[in-house]
Amino acid sequence: MTLLSLSSLKVSLGQRPVLKGITLDVAAGEFIGLIGPNGAGKSTLLRAALGLLRGSGDIRIAGRDTKAISARERAHHIAYLPQEREIAWPVSVETLVAFGRAPHRSLGGLSAQDIAVIEQAIQRMEIDEFRHRSAIELSGGEKARVLIARALAQDAPLLLADEPTVGLDPWHQITLMRIFADLAREGRGVIASMHDLGLAARWCTRLIMIDHGMIVADGSPEAVLTAERLRQVYGVTSFIDTIAGGMVVQPLDVDRKAH
Amino acid sequence: MSDLARYRLVASILAVATVVLFLLSLTVGPAGIAFGDSMAALFSDKGDGIALIMQEIRLPRAILGLMIGVTLGLSGAVLQGYLRNPLAEPGLLGISASASLGAVLSIYTGLSAAFALGLPLAALAGAVIAVVVVQAMAGTRGGSLTIILAGIAVTSFAGAMTSLALNLSPNPFAALEIMFWMLGSLTDRSMTHVWLAGPFILAGCLMLAGLGRSLDALTLGRDAAASMGVDLRRVQFLAVFGTAASIGAATAVAGAIGFVGLVVPHILRPLVGAKPSRLLPVSALGGGCVLLSADILVRIIAPDRDLKLGVLTAIVGAPFFLWLVYKTRKELA
């Protein structure tokens, strides 16, 4: 099933064209790594797909034109994890996760289903032991888990995550990638913009590489991540190998000939 | 105790305190009237002295104290939540300063002397101009920083124009009247003031009161809130125009009363687990309690000197705020 479909999406920020015609489909069960150099348009792509930025072209969510659905209904289909782990007030972890139910709630308290979904998200992200602590006092890794639990509480079939692994230690990075991969296996779709090519290669089912606002490669990690392409797009030389558990990609040095 | 149980307890205590303080406000004054007599006089149609004092002087004063306190507490909590800034307060948008300027100009030009509603109407006009300027500057998709900066610019300009009016004031009495008005007070207000400010305050508070859920989502930032289905343009419209209507009307009848809108949400935030949707109702009640208490205190501390309400709230509020900042400085760092 197609969860999200973009066709000829063009977005300009001020006078500068950032996305120059993006066409892609996201199916249930895919864990897509959105890769590309700084300024390539990864965050813009995610924000435009959510309707946070205006552009030209078509955006369809679960087959329906986004112009025809309300922001609240859109939130039933797509959850979003911004790059900044912003938490303005010292609310408890539990309260913060419950905010994710916002698009599903009417007036009144949390329903039994709300509570069940919140509880599931808390258990899944293993944040039960600090559920009563203030969310702003947590470490970076704990915060990241709590915010993903918030997005899971939204219970949407598609999750867009903007650089979710930035600033996390290897244990948390891998834990996050495992959860995203599990979500995809359960039939949801996940798109995560990433800079860590090693993690992307190892965990994503599909990679989309963008550069200067255009898709330059789209396919399996093996097909997208070639030494030649990394040299052209990122301007780096790299070590690439395939081992038992998947691909290993390690950028080595800047390639002086490329820039 | 669970968060919900504590929230309900705090809200109940504040609701009871508001009722008690409202009744107390009706019974405190230079004319020493016993509690039973005063309550009876409130509903009597005899038209004697006591009934006149209760119905024409104390009742409007208590109602205004309650309405304006609620407005200050509620709009302070909404603005802090919307701007995600613990230093936000109703005065920040330039509405209080512009409303004051309108009032000052009406005194300066003699409009206020010419007819009774000249001053509050001029103050309301000032508030409207301020909000139009701030909203135009921020635009429909404006960020919180733009709103804060536009508010500071409007406040500064209104302050400068107020200084000019004082500077050029035709006689020392006009200057003194302007100064006294600016200190903020509920003395000698009538039911006319209640009927003038009431509809604006009510409309403004209704616009602000429904924002709780949206402010909850905004805890996670603008993009996250928008992705959860929050219409940021609608939230901004309601927050800005709701504050303008309620604070503009409050300033129009009582002058600028500082620190209540800043301090009340601060005190109550830890008691309701910092959740914005829970902070709104308790801040409204808390603001009502604080302003009614302050207005009772000015009558007790200096019954014959007309101590101004705004002076008392600033004298108590500012050091208290300093203590709050000291206590929470680790969080703010």
| Average pLDDT value for residue range B296-307 | 87
Residue among A52, A78, A102 whose CB faces B216 most closely: A102
- Mutation target among B214, B227, B277 for the A interface, most CBs of A within 10 A: B227
Residue among A92, A103, A136 whose CB faces B229 most closely: A103
Q: Tell me the pairing of strands A246-254 and A236-243.
A: antiparallel
What is the rounded CA–CA span in Å between residue B270 and residue A198? 43
Q: Are the beta carbons of A136 and B218 separated by less than 8 Å?
A: no
What is the rounded CA–CA span in Å between residue B255 and residue B245? 15
Is residue A240 within 8 A of residue A247, CB to CB? The reply is yes
Nearest CA in chain A to B275: A91
Q: Binning pLDDT at 50, 70 and 90, where does residue B57 land? A: confident
- Mutation target among A66, A91, A136, A160 for the B interface, most CBs of B within 10 A: A91
Rounded to 5 degrees, φ, ψ at A70 are -75, 165
Q: Are the beta carbons of A95 and B275 separated by less than 8 Å?
A: yes
**Quick check: A158 contacting B, CB < 8 Å?**
no
Q: Binning pLDDT at 50, 70 and 90, where does residue B330 land? A: low
Q: Which class is domain B3-23+51-332?
A: mainly alpha
Q: B81 to chain A nearest CA, in Å?
A: 9
**Complex ipTM:** 0.92
* Separation in Å, CA B51 to CA B40, B54, B187: 8, 5, 18
Q: B-chain residues within 8 Å CB-CB of A147?
A: 220
- Angle at Cα B128 formed by Cα B104 and Cα A88, nearest 5°? 110
Mean pLDDT of chain B: 88
Q: What is the DSSP letter of B170?
A: S
Residue with tokens 């103050």: B123
Q: Are the beta carbons of B219 and A91 separated by less than 8 Å?
A: yes
Is residue A81 within 8 A of residue A159, CB to CB? The reply is yes
- Closest-CA residue to A211 (of A20, A10, A13): A20
CB pairs under 8 A between A and B: 80
* Separation in Å, CA B126 to CA B103, B208, B257: 8, 20, 16
Q: Are the beta carbons of B273 and A75 separated by less than 8 Å?
A: no
| Average pLDDT value for residue range B184-197 | 89
Q: Are the beta carbons of A150 and B220 separated by less than 8 Å?
A: yes
Q: Binning pLDDT at 50, 70 and 90, where does residue A79 land? A: very high
What is the rounded CA–CA span in Å between residue A246 and residue A130? 34
Q: A-chain residues within 8 Å CB-CB of B269?
A: 89
Is residue A259 scored above 60 in pLDDT?
A: no
| Average pLDDT value for residue range B171-191 | 85
Beta strands in chain A (DSSP E): 2-13, 16-27, 31-35, 56-61, 64-65, 78-81, 158-162, 189-193, 206-211, 214-219, 236-243, 246-254
| Average pLDDT value for residue range A114-129 | 95
Q: Binning pLDDT at 50, 70 and 90, where does residue A258 land? A: low
Q: Which helix (H) or strand (E) holds A135?
A: none
Q: Which helix (H) or strand (E) holds A55?
A: none
**Six token digits for residue A108:** 């009144």
Look at the alpha carbons of A232, A233, A239, A244 in this order and tell me if their dihedral is positive or negative: negative
Domain positions in chain B are 3-23+51-332
Q: Which of A24-38, A81-95, B32-46, B89-103 has the lowest mean pLDDT?
A: B32-46
- Mutation target among B219, B283, B327, B331 for the A interface, most CBs of A within 10 A: B219
Q: Which of B105-114, B139-148, B212-221, B324-333 has the lowest mean pLDDT?
A: B324-333
What is the rounded CA–CA span in Å between residue B96 and residue B124? 10
Q: Binning pLDDT at 50, 70 and 90, where does residue B2 land? A: confident
Query: How many CA atoms are closer than 13 Å to the CA of A194, on its beta-carbon side?
Result: 26
Could you tell me which residue, A206 or B330, shows the higher pLDDT?
Answer: A206
What pLDDT does B304 receive? 79
Q: Are the beta carbons of B273 and A95 separated by less than 8 Å?
A: yes
Q: What's the distance, CA B306 to chain centroid?
A: 20
Q: Which helix (H) or strand (E) holds B276?
A: helix B276-301
Residue among B3, B219, B273 whose CB faces A87 most closely: B219
Share above pLDDT 70 across residues of chain A, in percent, rounded to a whole number: 99
**Quick check: A84 contacting B, CB < 8 Å?**
yes
What pLDDT does B144 receive? 76
How many of the other CB atoms lie within 10 Å of CB of B304? 6
Burial label for A141, CB within 10 Å (0-12, 13-18, 19+), is: middle
Domain positions in chain A are 87-155
